[in-house]
Amino acid sequence: MKKAVFNWSGGKDSALALQKVLAEKEFEVIALLTNMREETSKSSMHAIPLEILERQAESIGIPLFAVTSSTALKNYDQKMSEAVHHFKELGVQHFIFGDIFLSDVKAYRESKLHPLGIEVVEPLWEKTSQEVIDDFLKSGIKSKIIVTQADLLDETYIGKDLDQNLINSFPENIDVCGENGEYHTLSYAGGLFKKEVEFSISETIKTAFDFTLDTGEKKTFEYWQAEIVP
């Protein structure tokens, strides 16, 4: 099998894509790479504490490799380049992601990794969101919603298991997989997990992030976010 690194977010698409990769046996996944913020010791966007990510990796049976950078991402490229060189020395030539259809995201990954001699692998690529969510519901993987875009899904969705009934309750303008950032999840049991990853949610807070759009316009997005306790 070809050695590979799986880029792990801790959420449902990552879990589904990894389960698919492990079943197909084309790649030997030697590490789960996760991007962390040095100021919080939590993952980017999902805000999952490092301890929970380590528990996920332990339950799956693949070691976690954390790449820690500043929230402002000033040292992100340097840190990722260092990680790539580390894994290339171990014989890795493929990085695997759980993206579905956002072509600009895939192009960005390729623009960063191809010059470093790494091929991008996308097991879920070009499936529809409905196909992916159907596969997820059949996979046995259990995931809870831990982040929502506040103007699209209110705080009552935080902490709920992603199942068919919850999906049916989404407004019509929500991508069922949350591929446009409508929501993020934490996967904790079933499927590829050998034992349940235990955690609790202490409270739900509202946070805000500034983004620069393709037009150059800066826009602030608000999110409901679970405060996760290991």
What pLDDT sits at residue 103?
82
Overall average pLDDT of the 34-53 stretch: 90
What pLDDT sits at residue 197?
98
What pLDDT sits at residue 72?
58
What pLDDT sits at residue 66?
94
Q: How far apart are CA 182 and CA 51, in angstroms?
A: 25
Give the model's confidence band at 73: pLDDT under 50 very low, under 70 low, under 90 confident, else very high: low
- Where b means 16+ CB within 10 Å and e means fewer, 205-214 reads eeeeeeeeee
CA distances from 30 to 4, 46, 52, 123, 153 (A): 6, 23, 19, 17, 36
Q: How far apart are CA 5 and CA 44, in angstroms?
A: 18
Q: Report the share of the chain in percent with pLDDT over 90.
A: 77
- Dihedral sign, CA of 55, 40, 175, 112? negative
What pLDDT sits at residue 25?
96
Nearest Cα residue to 197 out of 212, 210, 186, 208: 186
CA distances from 60 to 16, 36, 100, 140 (A): 12, 19, 22, 14
Overall average pLDDT of the 222-228 stretch: 96
Mean pLDDT rounded to a whole number for the chain: 93
> 2-121 belongs to which homologous superfamily?
HUPs (3.40.50.620)
What pLDDT sits at residue 125?
92
Asked if residue 4 has pLDDT above 80, the reply is yes
Asked if residue 213 has pLDDT above 80, the reply is no
Overall average pLDDT of the 139-164 stretch: 97
CA distances from 36 to 28, 80, 166 (A): 24, 11, 29
Q: How far apart are CA 213 and CA 141, in angstroms?
A: 34
Give the model's confidence band at 212: pLDDT under 50 very low, under 70 low, under 90 confident, else very high: confident
Give the model's confidence band at 32: pLDDT under 50 very low, under 70 low, under 90 confident, else very high: very high
Angle at 45 between CA 39 and CA 51, to 5 degrees: 60
Helices (H), the chain: 12-24, 50-60, 76-88, 103-113, 129-139, 164-168
- Range scoring the smallest mean pLDDT among 9-13, 22-26, 101-105: 101-105
Question: Tokens standing for 130?
Answer: 């409905």
Q: Is 119 exposed, middle or buried (0-12, 13-18, 19+ CB in 10 A)?
A: middle
Spell out the domain ranges in the chain: 2-121, 131-229
Give the model's confidence band at 196: pLDDT under 50 very low, under 70 low, under 90 confident, else very high: very high
Contact 141, 12 (CB under 8 A): yes
